[in-house]
Amino acid sequence: MFYFDPVYLLFVIPGLLIGIWAQVKLHHAYGKYSRVPVESGMTGAQAAREILNQAGLDDMPVEEIPGQLSDHYDPTKHALFLSSDNFRGRTVAAVGVAAHEAGHALQHQAAYGLFKVRMALVPVTQFASTAYTGILLIGILLGLWKIALPIIIVLFAVITLFQLVTLPVEYDASRRAKEQLFRLGLVHEDERTGVSKVLDAAALTYVAALVSSMMTLLYYILRAQGSRR
Ligand SMILES: [Zn+2]
């Protein structure tokens, strides 16, 4: 039975541990720098607005949404959504996260290749995730592993590919964010470390997700090879 395969645990635990470590690190960095006021006195929303305006994206809305770290750029709506803490916060963390999301808007504007690939993969990945859950259930409930496993591998490879593409996109958004924050003087020299620490910790959660997916994919592949023998 799938769930009680001890080998599976061996493949899942490392990803799980890295994931927990990344969350703890992010919690710590974000917690610390969301209490450090930014010298410019700007809110996250104002910093994002400034970066967008400087790039000629004056029309792009910057809106407040509920939730914690729910911040994102929506390429279909051409809009930036910031969580209340970062929208209103006048802290190093708020300005850093807001600038990161503006960084995604800059990627979109610049037609950055990997950003376009990631966008194209979104609907495919959504389908793969849903189908994966369904096929996995069929495998577990009906025990039809011989048929289910190759399909599971293909679907999970799509999910893993999406995470692989996401990683450089996230790092690039942070790079653009830092570049603009310092160029426009929204963040001062002594605030650089804080911004970097928050953004690096956030990126680490994507690394953890990728490691976790790669390990699971590897497990499925090894299992498929084992059952063929
Ligand atoms: Zn991002």
Ligand 1 geometric centre to CA of 227 (Å)? 39
User: Residue 188: pLDDT above 60?
Assistant: yes
Ligand 1 geometric centre to CA of 100 (Å)? 6
User: Residue 228: pLDDT above 70?
Assistant: no
Question: Both tokens of residue 210?
Answer: 């990728």
Ligand 1 geometric centre to CA of 176 (Å)? 11
Mean pLDDT of the chain: 93
User: Residue 89: pLDDT above 50?
Assistant: yes
User: Residue 35: pLDDT above 50?
Assistant: yes
pLDDT at 6: 82
Q: At what angle do helices 92-109 and 113-142 cross, to 10 degrees?
A: 100
Ligand 1 geometric centre to CA of 101 (Å)? 6
pLDDT at 1: 47
| Nearest partner of 224 among 118, 151, 138, judged by Cα | 151
Q: List active site positions.
A: 101
Residue 44 · residue 86 · CB < 8 Å: yes
Q: What letters, b where the CB count within 10 A reaches 16 and e where it falls short, cover 125-138? A: beebeeebeebbeb
Ligand 1 geometric centre to CA of 223 (Å)? 34
pLDDT at 3: 54
Q: How confident is the model at residue 229 (pLDDT cuts 50, 70, 90)?
A: low
Residues with CB under 5 A from ligand 1 (ion): 170, 173
pLDDT in tens, 128-183: 999 999 998 888 888 888 888 999 999 999 999 999 999 999 999 999 999 999 99
